[in-house]
Structure 1
Amino acid sequence: MRETEEMKLGLYLSRAGYHEGAWLSPSVPSIRTTDIDHYAQVAAIAEDAAFHFVFLADHQGVINDTATAARISRDYASEPISLLSALSARTRHIGLIATATTTYFQPYHLARMFASLDHLSGGRAAWNVVTSASDCEAQNFGGKELPDHDERYTQAREFVDAAKGLWDSWEDDAFIRDKESGIFADTRKVHLLNYKGKYFSVRGPLNIARPPQGHPVLVQAGASEAGIAFAAEVGEVVFTAEPSLESGSRYYARLKEEARAFGRDEGQVLVMPGIVPIVGRTNQEAADKLRILQSYVHADVLIGQAQLWLGSVIDLRSVNLDSLVPETLPQTNFIQSRQRLLLDLAGRKKFTWRQLIRLVSDSGGHLMVVGTPDVIANTMIDVFEHRAADGFNVLPATVPEGLNDFVELVVPELRRRGKFRSRYCCGKTLRENLGLKRPLNRFGQAGTSC
């Protein structure tokens, strides 16, 4: 059951915007991807609007083919934990979600870094747990190709278990810091993890105190069979791509059911699909904004990006773009759920390849709403009230203009209808703001809930 009828909102943090043509728009400043002032400005807009978090995606390399990489801006970005650590000093309330892969890190590395981010931010850190999805990433770490899709999730489950154990290795009150007695820490409240699994062996303990939130919030985006099971088991916020109410409702119901099967409270698993809003004061103005963005994108970029999201299993440069998209393609070792989502959508809409390629550039398969503030608010509320979402991860087509449009025009409409808060009021940590419980320490006898 939901504890509130107000939706959660996050911001997908990007340099230029989510649309493939965003960086070419005159409204988008020409800046370096390492410009902290830009990210601080964008985060401030979201924080002033009482968004719950900012979300920073990541890859361990450039995953686009070389023919299009020079024109594609999404892969060129600062490392998330470093960037969000800097933002922690320039924000006060908003949550900070960093993406990090379980395929090419070690549990001790990430457990320590996320604990540090949680301390630096006063309890606002979250980890978007991903498995790498490109052979290009594997080749940056001494491999030739990725491990099998389902094996990556098996490894991820073990990784998360080890990381949680490391966060628990110091009990909350272990550090006494008593100058009179000379005792810095109560050694009875520090625990060796001695984790031994198929993929990882970790002695512990972690060399930093338990995070303020107990564990940073765990975010997941699983939508394949293996991914849904993983999200239901460990995810506290689930970021998904669901372009329709019908598919979103099915996903929502299934994820909550599987979470219950793991013995979890479904209210502690928040489903937050992506939404790409293009806002205009009239529907025509919004449509014109999208048309102009589309005009910026080179044909090679359109084709290369669609080919990637379909799993690099077909050469779209050799197909008749005006033919219908087939029902199936060879299975990919990339993001299987996104390939299936795009094929299902194309089948329902009777899309040609040309139409599907355009959709990938515009929205990446996420819900896109083009129209006036009330049109966008109506869609969001409909999805929310029909139990297809607990909130949304907002992916502005352009930044900062598209974000400002959403905050200035759509957010007031959501508030007028009682569906979004006007201020931070639920506590200092991200867990408190999201209504998530603080996890018990597996080694201690007590824990607290928000």
Structure 2
Amino acid sequence: MSASDHIQRDEVEFGWFMPTMGDGTSLGRESERKPTLDYLTKVAQTAEQSGFEFVLIPTGGACIDSWVVGSAIIGATKTLKPLVAVRPGLIAPVLTARMAAALDTLSEGRARINIVTGSSPDDLEELGDPLARAHDEKYARTREYLDIIKGVWSEASGLASTEFGSNDAASVQNNKVYFKGDYYEVNGGTSRPATVQKPGLPVYFGGSSPMAKSVGVEYADVFLMWSEPLEMIKEQIAEIQQAQQNYADQHGSVRPLRLGMRAQVLVRDTEEEAWEAARNLIKDIDPETIARAKASFGKTGATGQNRQNQIRDAAAENDFMVGPNLWAGLSNVRSGGALMFVGTPDQVSDRLMEYAEAGVTSFILSSYPHLEEAQIFGDSTLPLFKEKWAQRFASVGR
């Protein structure tokens, strides 16, 4: 069985993005809406009511801490799953495992984590990461980090494994993890409480470099990519499949893996209305702000951001159009997955179908402002996509 047979394609999930740096009706200026508990709760509840299964809670920069936000929204929602972004190296792996298990317990099995290895070297230096500018070493450390986390989750004996618990000493000892690597040493690590989800929380993982793909296929449940033109995404998928095959050649088996993509969306009743709304997001940005943003994005050591920069620059003379209903205009002032699907619900659902047919079955979407746009997409486009996707499988007899 080839690696491509282990790319999971049947079910498609949709997540929304939590604007923990603030929100507004346009980019490139101070946020009109502060990331208060009340506002973030409204975004989470609206995402849930609009049909999204989970929300990505980002980390870094000016973001409010992802763990705190994740803990806050679980009490205000019933089914929504918090996907908490985590940076390896800043919190000890056993402590990370315990924090995640606690969130999983309190949310009754809804928690997920997103491993963010790269990102801004400047930001990582501010946070005290000694490997801030050491790309390959960061991923080597992430490999150890996830090895430990998954190890203590799978061996967890739960709340009873405490000095006050009823588990016998031999049982507790057998459930401890011992690890010695280049970056971490753990002597008897345990996760208390045990996770509700077995053998542990779903792990999302992003990266574009060969090193990222190598680590991702070994540990991730969902491998995330930033939005790119379809042919570029297909190339990335082929590279991920090759990394899966390399893993299989070394270990004798291929791990099942879902592929995900982070993207912006903007849908309106007519295509003209959609494009007007999209361009309005950046119409008031002055050239100095754009120049500063581009200079900042150009200093990144992240392979994915470099790809986004190249896509933006190549499309500059074509109004930043990079494909059917796909626009790179936000990349002038927004880092990360800034490419935006723009059009009617029918057009945007068709574009997402093309990516899903290529193998992308986990979409993490956003738009500005996040509160209203979650409902617009959820009401107009999400049901339409699900209908088309169901028809697609019915037509091939599945």
What is the match of residue 377 of structure 1? 349
What is the match of residue 277 of structure 1? 265
How far off is 1:340 after superposition?
3.1
How far off is 1:285 after superposition?
0.8
Is 2:285 the counterpart of 1:297? Answer: yes
What is the match of residue 340 of structure 1? 307
How far off is 1:252 after superposition?
1.8
Q: What whole-Å deviation, never above 9, does each CA across 1:264-288 have from its counterpart, x for those lacking one?
A: 556x311111221111111111111
What is the match of residue 146 of structure 2? 160
CA distance in 2, matches of 1:118, 1:87: 13
How far off is 1:201 after superposition?
1.0
Out of 373, 387, 390, the position equivalent to 1:402 is 373
Q: Greater helix share, 1 or 2?
A: 2
The 1:145/1:6 distance shift into structure 2, 3 A limit, reads closer
Contact 1:5–1:419 (Cα < 8 Å) also in 2? no
Q: What whole-Å deviation, never above 9, does each CA across 1:52-103 have from its counterpart, x for those lacking one?
A: 21101111xxxxxxxxxxxxxxx33321011101111112212211111113
How far off is 1:352 after superposition?
8.9
What is the match of residue 324 of structure 1? none
Equivalent residue letter for 1:255: I
CA distance in 2, matches of 1:380, 1:134: 29
Equivalent residue letter for 1:12: F
Equivalent residue letter for 1:405: I
Equivalent residue letter for 2:119: A
Is 2:101 the counterpart of 1:129? Answer: no
What is the match of residue 185 of structure 1? 167
How far off is 1:223 after superposition?
0.8
CA distance in 2, matches of 1:117, 1:375: 38
What is the match of residue 317 of structure 1? none
CA distance in 2, matches of 1:103, 1:299: 37
Is 2:383 the counterpart of 1:416? Answer: no
The 1:231/1:20 distance shift into structure 2, 3 A limit, reads farther
Equivalent residue letter for 2:368: A
Equivalent residue letter for 2:385: L
The 1:384/1:223 distance shift into structure 2, 3 A limit, reads same
Farther-moved stretch of structure 1 (376-385 vs 296-305): 296-305
Is 2:194 the counterpart of 1:210? Answer: yes
Is 2:220 the counterpart of 1:253? Answer: no
Partner-residue secondary structure (3-state), 1:99: strand
Q: What whole-Å deviation, never above 9, does each CA across 1:138-176 have from its counterpart, x for those lacking one?
A: 44345687241111100111111112222234346x849
What is the match of residue 219 of structure 1? 204
TM-score by length of 1: 0.74
Out of 11, 14, 21, the position equivalent to 2:19 is 14
Farther-moved stretch of structure 1 (225-234 vs 351-360): 351-360
The 1:203/1:353 distance shift into structure 2, 3 A limit, reads farther
Is 2:364 the counterpart of 1:393? Answer: yes
What is the match of residue 40 of structure 1? 41
What is the match of residue 325 of structure 2? none
How far off is 1:112 after superposition?
1.5
Partner-residue secondary structure (3-state), 1:203: strand
Is 2:106 the counterpart of 1:120? Answer: yes
CA RMSD of aligned residues (A): 3.1
* Equivalent residues, number: 371
The 1:132/1:169 distance shift into structure 2, 3 A limit, reads same
Contact 1:283–1:371 (Cα < 8 Å) also in 2? yes
Contact 2:263–2:337 (Cα < 8 Å) also in 1? no
What is the match of residue 308 of structure 1? 296
Partner-residue secondary structure (3-state), 2:381: helix
Q: What whole-Å deviation, never above 9, does each CA across 1:228-281 have from its counterpart, x for those lacking one?
A: 111111111122113211111121232134224324556x31111122111111
What is the match of residue 244 of structure 1? 229
Q: What whole-Å deviation, never above 9, does each CA across 1:3-27 have from its counterpart, x for those lacking one?
A: 76442111121145598618768xx
CA distance in 1, matches of 2:119, 2:231: 27
How far off is 1:222 after superposition?
1.3
CA distance in 1, matches of 2:243, 2:119: 24
Listed as ranges, the gaps of 5+ residues in structure 2 are: 322-327, 392-398
Contact 1:302–1:358 (Cα < 8 Å) also in 2? no
**Percent of aligned pairs with the same residue?**
21
Is 2:340 the counterpart of 1:368? Answer: yes
Contact 2:23–2:34 (Cα < 8 Å) also in 1? no
CA distance in 2, matches of 1:261, 1:88: 39
Partner-residue secondary structure (3-state), 1:262: helix
Equivalent residue letter for 1:124: R
What is the match of residue 447 of structure 1? none
Farther-moved stretch of structure 1 (13-22 vs 118-127): 13-22
Equivalent residue letter for 2:38: D
The 1:250/1:243 distance shift into structure 2, 3 A limit, reads same
Contact 2:8–2:361 (Cα < 8 Å) also in 1? no
Out of 56, 71, 77, the position equivalent to 2:63 is 77
How far off is 1:366 after superposition?
4.1
Partner-residue secondary structure (3-state), 1:212: coil
CA distance in 1, matches of 2:161, 2:128: 44
Contact 1:136–1:145 (Cα < 8 Å) also in 2? no
Q: What whole-Å deviation, never above 9, does each CA across 1:186-221 have from its counterpart, x for those lacking one?
A: 433322322111111112333513211131111111
Alignment of 1:342-361 (within 5 A): 342-343=309-310, 346-347=313-314, 349=315, 351=317, 359-361=331-333
How far off is 1:389 after superposition?
1.0
Out of 98, 103, 126, the position equivalent to 2:84 is 98
The 1:232/1:86 distance shift into structure 2, 3 A limit, reads same
CA distance in 2, matches of 1:4, 1:378: 17
CA distance in 1, matches of 2:216, 2:131: 24
CA distance in 1, matches of 2:288, 2:67: 32
